[in-house]
Structure 1
């Protein structure tokens, strides 16, 4: 891939890493087969400026009845993932990433988009962020929802293609195509080497 479309990254760039948790690893009930493969790439990006990294965690409800509408139906189907039954350790970040907190920030969320509620939006506003480098899981679910939220807020968004994972090869490939073609004016798609070489301060 070529250099970043809108130039190098600055001190106002934040690495937003979505849901790289044991919940979605081979140990969890929702395994994402590529997670272990992309973990070294995600770790390298997080290590560049850990104080500018935000990790999100997808936190399941205590029980299905705690969620509204179709989310309640969802957790009736996946009752074993509710906190009533789930090993709480599975909600933690993958160990190489957990070691970076602090200085990295952790923001928990109950739904797909990290922009649901106000915590992430407030955090980014307070640190005067203007650009988000996005990695994480899953390309076609929580990453998708969060990236569209970031676009709505007007952030420069850079998708790290080799820093994403999904449980669906088809979904992953389709979304990378969508990001790079349909949203090409608002979303840049790059690889980790290009991102790291463009982020020096």
Structure 2
């Protein structure tokens, strides 16, 4: 079991990475995340305060299942209605309260779960002097999980405002937060948005 560490310092070396807050997951699609609407005001609060330090990721499916790689091909064979040849591409856009923050916030498109699947993303952050990532969005147990674990491998410290994370599954959402607190406490800090804002000066 991990031993809780001291809160990470937050300043100019901190970047807000907001995962997949898109219409695709906010609206009535097969991938709808009901909790997204509940955490959206909290994410707007963070992104609005730190827009210049914010990167929004967008999950982008392939045009058709056979264009996906490896096991993703089987995944989209099970979800053909979520490929771009059938999907309204406007659903890929950020939800409106967040889309208005771009620019100065930036957007990073990805075709798989982790933001770090984009070549050179980690190196680009490090060139900017970033050593800490505030991660928000969804889903806690899918794309957030993949991004957090990759970020840890790249040496970033992670701050998770738990009231700015969402999932379709309460049980796995709660299990992941427990995992971060108990097994990754030297690299991941689970906190609240109020505490984050109180500490982040830039």
The answer to whether the superposition gives a TM-score over 0.5 is yes
Which position in structure 2 is the counterpart of 1:65?
66
1:111-168 per-residue CA deviation (whole Å, 9 max, x = no partner) reads: 0011013242233123211110010100000000000011001111001100000010
What secondary structure sits across from 2:17 in the alignment? strand
How many residues in Structure 1 have an aligned counterpart in Structure 2?
198
Which position in structure 1 is the counterpart of 2:162?
161
**Partner Cα separation in structure 2 for residue 195 and residue 9 of structure 1:** 8
**Partner Cα separation in structure 2 for residue 177 and residue 60 of structure 1:** 30
Counterpart mapping for 1:1-201 below 5 A: 5-201=6-202
1:85-135 per-residue CA deviation (whole Å, 9 max, x = no partner) reads: 001111011111100001101000000011013242233123211110010
What secondary structure sits across from 1:111 in the alignment? coil
**Partner Cα separation in structure 2 for residue 22 and residue 112 of structure 1:** 17
What secondary structure sits across from 2:117 in the alignment? coil
Q: 1:62 to 1:182 in 2, by over 3 A?
A: same
**Partner Cα separation in structure 2 for residue 87 and residue 32 of structure 1:** 18
In 1, are the aligned partners of 2:8 and 2:189 still within 8 Å (CA)? no
**Partner Cα separation in structure 2 for residue 26 and residue 99 of structure 1:** 18
Q: 1:63 to 1:87 in 2, by over 3 A?
A: same
**Partner Cα separation in structure 2 for residue 141 and residue 198 of structure 1:** 28
**Partner Cα separation in structure 2 for residue 20 and residue 123 of structure 1:** 22
In 2, are the aligned partners of 1:107 and 1:119 still within 8 Å (CA)? no
Structure 2 spans left out of the alignment, 5+ residues = none
Q: 1:66 to 1:23 in 2, by over 3 A?
A: same
TM-score by length of 2: 0.94
In 1, are the aligned partners of 2:113 and 2:143 still within 8 Å (CA)? yes
**Partner Cα separation in structure 2 for residue 34 and residue 72 of structure 1:** 28
In 1, are the aligned partners of 2:13 and 2:131 still within 8 Å (CA)? yes
In 2, are the aligned partners of 1:25 and 1:35 still within 8 Å (CA)? yes
Structure 1 spans left out of the alignment, 5+ residues = none
